[in-house]
Amino acid sequence: MEEKKDQLSLIELKDGEAGIIVSVHGGKMLTKRLADLGLSPGVEIRILRKTFFSGPVQVEVFGSRLVLGRGLASKILVEPK
């Protein structure tokens, strides 16, 4: 699970920043669950709000707002825009 320098975990983006999903690190079920929510490689995602420490992350995808757990968000790699 090696990251390229221009790729970050979703939780590394700051509030208001956007990125393009590059990959999801997880099993088939996780990848499918996220794809069902519209979170798949090539999709633009924006951080709306992060809570401190281990709290959830609020994101926007295709105009919809989603709340992801921090552990789940950490498995999504993005290329910052």
CATH number for the domain that contains residue 17: 2.30.30.90
Bridge partners (DSSP) listed for residue 44: 20
Instruction: Give the pLDDT confidence score for residue 3 in this predicted structure.
Output: 52
Is 2 within the bounds of a domain? Answer: no
72's enclosing H/E stretch is helix 70-73
Q: Report d(CA 42, CA 5) in Å as an integer.
A: 18
Is 21 within the bounds of a domain? Answer: yes
Span 34-79, pLDDT tens digits: 999 999 999 999 999 998 778 899 999 999 999 999 999 999 999 9
Q: What residues make up the domain containing 45?
A: 8-80
Q: Report d(CA 47, CA 60) in Å as an integer.
A: 7
Instruction: Give the pLDDT confidence score for residue 53 in this predicted structure.
Output: 78
Instruction: Give the pLDDT confidence score for residue 5 in this predicted structure.
Output: 63
Is 33 within the bounds of a domain? Answer: yes
Span 16-34, pLDDT tens digits: 999 999 999 999 999 999 9
Number of domains in the chain: 1
Is 22 within the bounds of a domain? Answer: yes
Is 44 within the bounds of a domain? Answer: yes
Q: Any residues with CB less than 8 A from the CB of 48 and at least 6 apart, and which?
A: 15, 16, 58, 59, 60, 65
Question: pLDDT at residue 1 above 50?
Answer: no
